[in-house]
Homo-oligomer: A and B are copies of this chain.
Amino acid sequence: MHSFVELSAEFETYFNKRHFPVHPATLYDAAQYILKIGGKRVRPVSVLMANELFAEITTDAYSVAAAIELFHNFSLIHDDIMDKAPLRRGMETVHAKFGDSTALLAGDVMLVAAYEQLNNINHSKLHDILKLFSKTAKEVCEGQQMDMDFEKQESVSLEEYLNMITFKTSVLLAASLQLGAIIGGAGEGNQKHLYEFGKNVGIAFQIQDDYLDAFGDPEKFGKQVGGDILANKKTFLMIHALSVANAQQKEELDLLLQSNNDDKVSSVMKIYADCKVPEWATTLKEKYFNNAMKHLEELAVLNSRKAELEKLARYLLQRES
């Protein structure tokens, strides 16, 4: 079994090439640009790791991994247009650098390129792979739409938020693992456990992300601490705080959400602390982490083969092993 780091290097070698023709450069340079920005490549490497649980990693797994990474970048380009985001991983976003129209088209060709990668795999598995991939692709779009809808909604329930997060961010990791399992020849039961493992890790990761946005060490987190609070984002923390706050705290939160005072972040954080939001978030994250571990346990392969996936989950969720 290979470690995440080893497979990450293998994938980088495979993926680090020009994926698009030269002409028209105005379109394809924009598409190529975001791929160069990089990222941790967690999803594509998960395809390889899931494959290796059941069999030697095949070239098909690399094609599927590339498709997943292209899809992920397609969704980043289009999400950044919708969110009017100026920066992505510290670099200019595609639309900021090349304009909205070219970014839109660059996303489109990236989605098509993802399907082209899938079409490289063994014909006998193509139908099943396409089916899961397209289902997931639609869910990711649905998650993004829900996220936009929430901005206009007065209140969002924890269940609604969980559902949105599951679609917007978790199903792609879940599907990556299941796709790798399909390539590796896994049975349906094992496929499902891997899918659920990925989904639960993804949700736990998002809870952690919301938590760190408020309570993280600014130097380690790499984003502005309190950014979600300043942007009035409905996060796990805010949704929970609003649901457990007493009348006075609720009124204060509602006022803070309408204000832009200098002490907005610290005032909201004070209410979070009074409402024991950090403890609640830690427990919730733990719950999803434990769910993930349960599905990993139930996977019918030798325990020794599962070690690398468990390590990856612990690494992503910042847990000491």
Indicate if the CB atoms of B126 and A112 lie closer than 8 Å. Answer: no
How many copies, total?
A: 2
Q: A145 to chain B: which residues have CB within 8 Å?
A: 24, 26-27, 102, 105
Q: Are A81 and B108 in contact (CB under 8 A)?
A: no
> CB within 8 A of A134: which of B112, B127, B131, B146?
B112
Q: Is the CB of A141 within 8 A of B109?
A: yes
The reply to whether A149 and B82 form a contact with Cβ atoms under 8 Å apart is: no
Q: Which B residues lie within 8 Å of A146 (CB)? A: 24
How many of A's residues come within 8 Å of B, CB to CB? 38
The distance from the CB of A61 to the nearest CB of chain B, in whole angstroms, is 18
What B residues does A245 contact at CB under 8 A? none
Contact assessment for B112 and A119 in the assembled complex, using a CB-CB cutoff below 8 Å: no
| A244 close to chain B: CB less than 8 A | no
A101 part of interface (Cβ distance < 8 Å): yes
Partner of A101, one of B109, B113, B119, B148: B148
A130 is contacted by which of B23, B115, B124 (Cβ under 8 Å)?
Answer: B115
Asked if B104 and A78 make an inter-chain contact with CB atoms under 8 angstroms apart, the answer reads yes
Tell me the nearest residue of chain B to A119, going by C-beta: B130
A111-B108, A138-B112 as given contacts; A24 in contact with B78, CB under 8 Å:
no
| Residue A137 is within 8 A (CB to CB) of chain B in the complex | yes
State which of B115, B123, B124 has its C-beta within 8 Å of the C-beta of A115.
B115
Q: Which residue in B27, B81, B123, B127 is a CB contact (below 8 Å) of A104?
A: B81
Closest chain-B Cβ to A281's Cβ sits at a distance in Å of: 26
Q: A116 an interface residue at 8 Å Cβ cutoff?
A: yes
Tell me whether B126 and A105 are in contact (CB under 8 A).
no
What chain B residues lie within 8 Å of A130 (beta carbons)? 115, 118-119, 126
| Minimum Cβ distance to chain B for residue A18 (Å) | 14
Q: Does A144 sit at the interface, judged by CB under 8 A?
A: yes
Contact B115 A149 (CB under 8 A): no
Contacts of A10 in B (CB 8 A): none
Which are the 3 A-B pairs with shortest beta-carbon distances? A27-B145, A82-B101, A112-B137
Selected A-B contacts with CB under 8 Å, 8 pairs: A24-B145, A27-B145, A78-B105, A82-B101, A105-B144, A111-B112, A116-B131, A119-B130
